[in-house]
Amino acid sequence: MGFFKLREQDPAGDAKSLDETLDALGYNSDGLVPAIAQQYDSGEVVMMAWMNRAAIEETLETGRVCYWSRSRQAYWRKGESSGQIQKLIEMRFDCDGDALLLKVDQTGPACHTGRRSCFYHKVVIDSEPLINPEELYK
Amino acid sequence: MGFFKLREQDPAGDAKSLDETLDALGYNSDGLVPAIAQQYDSGEVVMMAWMNRAAIEETLETGRVCYWSRSRQAYWRKGESSGQIQKLIEMRFDCDGDALLLKVDQTGPACHTGRRSCFYHKVVIDSEPLINPEELYK
């Protein structure tokens, strides 16, 4: 049985070493796991990107979030060109160790388009019913 | 230039058809995109899972979140065995169309371990300094 499966039964407060935990993460075939960045105080989800093990370690060591850019195939120290850095407040892993949740303090916009959050495409309903369907099919 | 890149310049309120938007999502080689589920009122991120296009469409049609289970290779209508359903409040896509944010109303625990959130593994510091390092290296 895997590390995270075994951990399901451990009591709150129980700890394993960071090394052992990072070894057990469910990296994909490119060695990456998805990481969700959430503003720590407002709760706003500002972006999702990817990390490899070294990016996770650097983020914990420096307290500044470092991703792996799949398009550039390079480390991506958030804010290194824009100044819009992400300070790490808290790092969490999910139940089966294949996703990360980063509580961050985001300076300015997180999105490369200048928006606070990358999630600015919303599915909306754009018309109202002309008639109540219960009337229509009574 | 891709659909989402072109959309960066469109003004707030501008709309494209759902079909066109779903066609343009950045599905991975298995036809999946990661979907973050966030409790709509508290802001708590409760889980991350995966969706294919049909799961996205079903979720929008029924208002109940349906994922694609990679381990079972089957549709996963959240709560179908546990009763812990996720009602969809809002669906969002990110700037480059390769991640979804679902605002949901989660009944009970989202996690298969019985916890509210899947993100219950937290990285913590477990000791205090014996001496201020500025004292140590003055």
DSSP string, B16-59: --HHHHHHHS---TTS-EEEEEEETTT--EEEEEEE-HHHHHHH
Inter-chain contact A95–B101, Cβ cutoff 8 Å?
no
pLDDT computed for residue A50 by the predictor: 98
Inter-chain contact B92–A122, Cβ cutoff 8 Å?
yes
Q: Is the pLDDT of residue B31 over 80?
A: yes
Inter-chain contact B94–A44, Cβ cutoff 8 Å?
no
Within 8 A of B42 by CB-CB distance, chain A residues are 43
For CA atoms A115, A106, A104, A100, the dihedral sign is positive
Interface test with chain B among A19, A82, A94, by most B beta carbons within 10 Å: A94
pLDDT computed for residue B30 by the predictor: 97
Distance from the Cα of A122 to chain B's closest Cα (Å) equals 4
For chains A and B, count residue pairs whose Cβ atoms are closer than 8 Å: 100
Q: Is the pLDDT of residue B127 over 90?
A: no
Q: What would be the CATH architecture of the domain defined by B16-108?
A: Roll (3.10)
What residues contact residue B48 under an 8 Å CB cut-off, 6+ apart?
A: A34, A36, A94, A99, B34, B35, B36, B37, B118
Q: Is the pLDDT of residue A6 over 80?
A: yes
pLDDT computed for residue B22 by the predictor: 97
B77-80: long-range contacts, CB 8 A cutoff, minimum separation 24: B78/B110, B79/B107
For the segment B11-26, what is each residue's pLDDT rounded down to a tens digit? Answer: 999 999 999 999 999 9
Which residue among A45, A92, A118 sits closest to B121, beta carbon to beta carbon?
Answer: A92
Inter-chain contact A126–B99, Cβ cutoff 8 Å?
no
Q: Does A95 belong to an annotated binding site? A: yes
* Domain extent listing, chain B: 16-108
Inter-chain contact A121–B97, Cβ cutoff 8 Å?
yes
pLDDT computed for residue B18 by the predictor: 94
Distance from the Cα of B99 to chain A's closest Cα (Å) equals 7
Q: Does B66 belong to an annotated binding site? A: no
Q: Is the pLDDT of residue A126 over 80?
A: no
